[in-house]
Amino acid sequence: MLTTTEQRLTAIRQWLAQHNIDALLIPHEDEYLGEYVPAHNERLLWLTGFTGSAGAAVITKDKAAIFVDGRYTVQVTKQVPAELFEYRHLIEEPALGWIKDHLAKGASVAIDPRMHSSAWLDMAQAKLAGSLELKILDSNPIDKLWHDRPAPVVSDVLLMATESVGQSSADKRQEIANLIQQAGADSAVITALDSICWLLNVRGLDVSRLPVLLSHAIVHSDSSVEYFLDPARLPAQFDEHVGVGVTVHHPDALRARLEALTGKKVLVDPATSNAWFKLVLQNSGASVVSKADPCLMPKAAKNDVEIAGMKACHIRDGVAMAKFLCWLDSEVALGNLHDEATLSDRLEAFRSEDPTLMDLSFDTISAAGSNAAMCHYSHENQPEPGKLELNTLYLVDSGGQYLDGTTDITRTIAIGQPSDEMIKQFTLALKGHIGVARARFPKGTRGFQIDTLARQHLWAEGYDYDHGTGHGVGHFLNVHEGPASISKRLIDVPLVQGMVLSNEPGYYRADAFGIRIENLELVVETPTNGDFPVLSFESLTRCPIDKRNINLDMLTRPELAWLNNYHQKVWDEIGPLVEGEVKEWLRAATTPVAHS
């Protein structure tokens, strides 16, 4: 009897034969190209059984391959049958390369343009030119074959009052209209879900971990907006909330409204919008202007109200973290070495005591011992979660979506007595963290110029970490927010006042331990005695850094002063909000330290 995966693979091959197509490429992404894919759009999971957050599959008439990155090399072998799919590395052997190697010249490869960015399609067409034919599909075959497809989540639409976000939707729309005009366009198609929610001051929970609504928008140079969301979902107060100039259309009307832009210059972000938009516009006689989403920079630079909300939610988040870390220490002292799932659930329970918590901001990374050496580890992707062991480190990377802001924090905790090597590596990472936190830099500085400060002490000893140092964070929006970052990548976006970015250097030793220290930082302007003010970072996160992991004698006097000053702020702001054993734990965790 055929397994479910075999049946679905057979159905895809029958579809290939019926349409005289040689191969089908199925990415993990859906039409919104977001970080998280809602259950009803998990097409790769439907076909293969693979539950990871990144990957792709290629089906030919006689072969099939699944492509995953280093996070999932073990998981994929447990979820996807080896007799049906070859396992390939997503980065080292991309799907297009595999296709070129396995198909004869002139063969056809089908893609659904909704599942790929416009930039990806341009790249694919160039890569396959002269060797393979790229067939652009009008509909996705999986959608026709997926008979038990779950219904989309239809969450309540939250109207964010101007008092809670600091700027009316009408003012934002005028600001974006001005940017569209400056770009030489008549209109802009906005597809990034967080951009749309920011622009209209709305939120939802259509996608797990992202407080967004599955929707699209077209913004015109006169500041009017066409919003594509089922009108039945909107509260009665929506029109009053957004003000004049917003018309709501059912999503089924999207193609017709795009085709009505004949002769217009339409801005489309090639990185965030799927290729279908560009194809429809071009086929309708519109001129596509390939430029960045105009909402990105205004959204990233938080206003005073958003900043106040971010600060407030970080204090409450710090209370939850203090309760959790106090509980964890007491449990370890009693010999109760819990597993990663129990720890993750316990932390979520502490956060859930806050009534303004709407969701987690991402799936918690709860990693014990050697599991933390995988920087994107997930206990939910393992056959069974790992357990704490004495004389190791425990890494927990977590965050919350609150009505007034978004948090993201990583702490690495001593379980028993960490080794001298663990302490050394933790201290090197901490020195890098403090280097970023204390940075002063002129306006116009890019994130890659800051990145060296985080790595310099690790580099000096011959070490590094294989991820970025920092990403942008939204205000009750995506925890990974563009366009700025702090990393080795040469991203030409300046850090500007009001941005919130993570500061998270780390170190990972395979099969041994992992370390990461993460706070969120607000970019602020700092007066100087020189010719111009400079920018600097103000730490938002309020939670102790585990002093048991630090070799204090490796810290300079300024670094030690930063640590003590940071812990004093944690005590001053969190101390009054906790009591009993948590207060005593916090007092000890934030007590000033000195060189030996």
Mention every residue, 6+ apart, whose C-beta is less than 8 A from residue 117. Answer: 33, 270, 271, 272, 273, 274, 275
Token pair 């939707």: residue: 169
Distance between CA atoms of residues 433 and 425, nearest Å: 12
- The 3-state secondary structure of 97-147 reads HHHHHHCCCCCEEEECHHHCEHHHHHHHHHHHCCCCEEEECCCCHHHHHCC
Residue 235: closest CA among 203, 188, 194: 203
Distance between CA atoms of residues 268 and 185, nearest Å: 10
Domains and CATH numbers, the chain: 5-145 (3.40.350.10), 158-291 (3.40.350.10), 301-589 (3.90.230.10)
Digitized pLDDT (tens) for each residue of the chain, 596 residues in all:
567 999 999 999 999 999 999 999 999 999 999 989 999 999 999 999 999 889 999 999 999 999 998 778 888 998 999 999 999 998 888 999 999 999 999 999 999 999 999 999 999 999 999 999 999 999 999 999 999 999 999 999 999 999 999 999 999 999 999 999 999 999 999 999 999 999 999 999 999 999 999 999 999 999 999 999 999 999 999 999 999 999 999 999 999 999 999 999 999 999 999 999 999 999 999 999 999 999 999 999 999 999 999 999 999 999 999 999 999 999 999 999 999 999 999 999 999 999 999 999 999 999 999 999 988 888 887 878 999 999 999 999 999 999 999 999 999 999 999 999 999 999 999 999 999 999 999 999 999 999 999 999 999 999 999 899 999 999 999 999 999 999 999 999 999 999 999 999 999 999 999 999 999 999 999 999 888 889 999 999 999 999 999 999 999 999 999 999 999 999 999 999 999 999 999 999 999 999 98
Distance between CA atoms of residues 454 and 435, nearest Å: 6
> pTM for the complete prediction?
0.95
Distance between CA atoms of residues 390 and 385, nearest Å: 17
- Residue 196, amino acid: I
Question: For 325, how many CA atoms within 13 A lie in the half-sphere containing its CB?
Answer: 32
The SS3 call for residue 524 is strand
Give the total residue count for the chain: 596
Token pair 């038990």: residue: 148
27 within 8 A of 120, measured Cβ to Cβ: no
Residue 548: closest CA among 589, 596, 506: 589
Q: To 5 degrees, how large is the angle CA 68–CA 74–CA 76?
A: 50
Token code pair at residue 424: 């050394």
Distance between CA atoms of residues 563 and 481, nearest Å: 28
533 within 8 A of 447, measured Cβ to Cβ: no
> CA 288 → CA 133, 186, 283, 331, 593, distances in Å?
24, 10, 11, 59, 59
Question: For 348, how many CA atoms within 13 A lie in the half-sphere containing its CB?
Answer: 16
Distance between CA atoms of residues 265 and 256, nearest Å: 17
Distance between CA atoms of residues 267 and 191, nearest Å: 11
- Residue 33, amino acid: L
Handedness of CA 542, 546, 550, 552 (dihedral sign): positive
The SS3 call for residue 232 is helix
Mention every residue, 6+ apart, whose C-beta is less than 8 A from residue 236. Answer: none
